[in-house]
Homo-oligomer: A and B are copies of this chain.
Amino acid sequence: PDNFFLIAGPCVVESESLLDEVAGTVSRICARLEIPYVFKASYRKANRTSASSFTGIGDETALQLLQKTGQKYNLPVTSDIHAYDEAAPAAKYIDILQIPAFLCRQTDLLVAAAETGKIVNVKKGQFLSGPSMQFAVDKIKKAGNNNILLTERGTTFGYQDLVVDYRNIPWMQAHGVPVVMDCTHSLQQPNQTSGVTGGNPQLIETIAKAAIATGADGLFIETHPNPAVAKSDGANMLRLELLEPLLEKLVKLRKAVI
């Protein structure tokens, strides 16, 4: 079978040099391993737990850097939007519009994203089942767009933990769209008293292997040269130097999945 695709990059656009380092490194690895690669970074963080957390370097600047990075390395680029009126402006710069999990039921947002004609990647809400994502798919199709991805990113499991239910891989594929496993955010530990979401990055390999084995079409992995100094999601991002050996294992696994 064909290989899985990879959506990867730093959580947020911090600087041009960061995008350059990550896109350059990951595109080289993916070329060697024959993994189709989509570059990802958020141009703005709209729903940080705490109002005092970093939210970005400016939307327009960040979107331009994303586009430039994609052009330089010949990569499709994705970022997340948070309100219906961000869809059209973002679509000028990026190829895949990602809908955050908390917002996956906002009809206006889904329709606005659909109407750009770009690929729309909807993350499954932590409060939704895979079968229920049919309704997100239907809203986008009804708006005339059939280029849809769905992403699993874990489900609420008590207040301070998420659990990945792998039944959602076949359940969401049954909607006729490719399914991505978000190996980063599904390991979040929400509702920490510190106001900073925690994580378990040493389990990324476990989450990714199970996804490939159960037939996921793509993986989403946030990566950073030095997660400890990252401006967002440092608790969950994979250290960039660990990405290549991980992908080698996953490619080997993929070939064994019938």
Contact = CB atoms under 8 A, between A and B. Distances in A.
A229 interface: no
A92 to B, nearest CB: 20
Nearest to A105: B47
A203 interface: yes
A166 B203 CA distance: 10
Contacts of A50: 135, 138
A159 B159 contact: no
A206 B169 CA distance: 9
Contact of A127 (B46, B107, B126, B210): B126
A33 interface: no
Nearest to A126: B127
A151 to B, nearest CB: 16
A206 B166 contact: yes
Contacts of A85: 83, 85
Contact of A106 (B47, B210, B249): B47
B253 A249 contact: no
A113 to B, nearest CB: 13
A128 interface: yes
Interface in A133-164: 134-135, 138-139, 142, 155-161, 163-164
Interface of A: 46-51, 55, 82-85, 102-103, 105-108, 125-129, 131-132, 134-135, 138-139, 142, 155-161, 163-167, 169-170, 190-191, 193, 195, 200, 203, 206-207, 209-210, 212-215, 249, 252-253, 255-258
30 contacts: A47-B106, A49-B105, A49-B132, A50-B135, A51-B135, A51-B138, A82-B106, A83-B84, A83-B85, A85-B85, A102-B102, A102-B103, A103-B103, A125-B127, A127-B127, A128-B159, A128-B190, A128-B191, A135-B195, A157-B163, A157-B165, A158-B160, A166-B210, A169-B206, A209-B213, A209-B214, A249-B258, A252-B256, A253-B256, A253-B257
- Copies of this chain assembled into the complex: 4
Contacts of A129: 159-160, 191
A108 to B, nearest CB: 6
Given A46-B106, A102-B105, A256-B256, A170 B51 contact: no
A166 B256 contact: no
Nearest to A251: B256
Given A49-B132, A169-B206, 6 more contacts: A102-B102, A102-B103, A158-B158, A160-B161, A170-B203, A206-B214
A106 B128 CA distance: 18
